[in-house]
Amino acid sequence: MLDIISFLTQIPVRKDVRIEEVAVRTYLFPFVALLIGLLVAAVAFVVFDCSGSAPEIAALLVLLAIYLVTGLMHLDGLADFFDGVMAGGTEEDKRRAMKDEKIGIAGLFATVFVILLSFFAIETVCAGLAKTAHSFDLRSFYHFASIFVIAEISAKISMNTCMISGKSKEGAGRGMGALFIRSFSKYGYVVTLISAILISLIFTAFSLRFFIVFTGIAVALFVSRIAKSNFGDAGVSGDVIGASNELARCTTLLVWAIIIV
């Protein structure tokens, strides 16, 4: 568990991360998502309570907190993924563009766009919660936690779904993403889904809103399909998995914003 926390976050609980240990226990991702969501929710709870009439600044601080906790690894994958998708030429040309260390204009645009969408979604949903809260107490924190815990779990089961959909007859290719795809099993995916559902039920007071967590699965299936159509049947790589994490979190926050408004 310490390896997984160190891999998915910037929390310094283990200096040397054993990637092989993480790869065979990715079914525990929802529990790390719970930790991330609670930390971000705590920041949102405090800054929206203290911000007064400046929800934009509060939302910016929450967005900053997300990436201070999780790091920029998956955001880099998002940029690489869109560079590959938007590149011209054959599947090999697109894979080469995705693996290029330099970020292209497509990756830059996608990254900025996703960050902006996340920012506006956070501002909308948290400002709505702050407006309806009679006082900032434990009950109010629970509502903030519901938003960010489910958004983060959605992002992590999106990664798990990409790992399952990335399995093909051609194999999983090379690299860190391939290691995760080979190590992840259908049994592990079932454990992931059960864990995600149980946590989501707790943070939605056992209401139908827990279905929001499945946004991550829909995003992952869509991203995987785009990856395979552009990079081949074995096209789901570490960059694709990372991109699905960012897109799923952003999409889930947008869903929350629509519901809250």
Whether residue 161 contacts residue 196, with contact meaning beta carbons closer than 8 Å, is answered with no
The structural domain count of the chain equals 1
Residue 251 has a pLDDT of 97
The DSSP line for 186-239 is HHHHHHHHHHHHHHHHHTTTTSGGGGGGGHHHHHHHHHHHHHHHHH-TT---HH
Whether residue 192 contacts residue 162, with contact meaning beta carbons closer than 8 Å, is answered with no
The pTM is what? 0.93
Residue 170 has a pLDDT of 55
The count of residues in the chain is 261
* Residue 140: both structure tokens together: 């109010």
Residue 166 has a pLDDT of 87
Structural domain including 119 reads 2-260
Closest CA to 32 of 61, 6, 12: 6
Whether residue 242 contacts residue 227, with contact meaning beta carbons closer than 8 Å, is answered with no
DSSP state of 175: S
pLDDT in tens, the chain (261 residues): 899 999 999 998 887 888 998 999 999 999 999 999 999 999 999 998 776 668 899 999 999 999 999 999 999 999 999 999 999 889 999 999 998 888 899 999 999 999 999 999 999 999 888 877 666 778 889 999 999 999 999 999 999 999 999 876 555 556 788 899 999 999 999 999 999 999 999 999 999 899 999 999 999 999 999 999 999 887 899 999 999 999 999 999 999 999 876
Amino acid identity for residue 211 in this structure: F
- CA angle at 128 for the pair 127 and 132, rounded to the nearest 5°: 115
The DSSP line for 18-48 is -HHHHHTTGGGHHHHHHHHHHHHHHHHHHHH
Whether residue 63 contacts residue 122, with contact meaning beta carbons closer than 8 Å, is answered with yes
Whether residue 200 contacts residue 41, with contact meaning beta carbons closer than 8 Å, is answered with no
The helix or strand, by DSSP H or E, that contains position 251, with its residue range, turns out to be: helix 238-260
Closest CA to 250 of 139, 119, 78, 97: 119
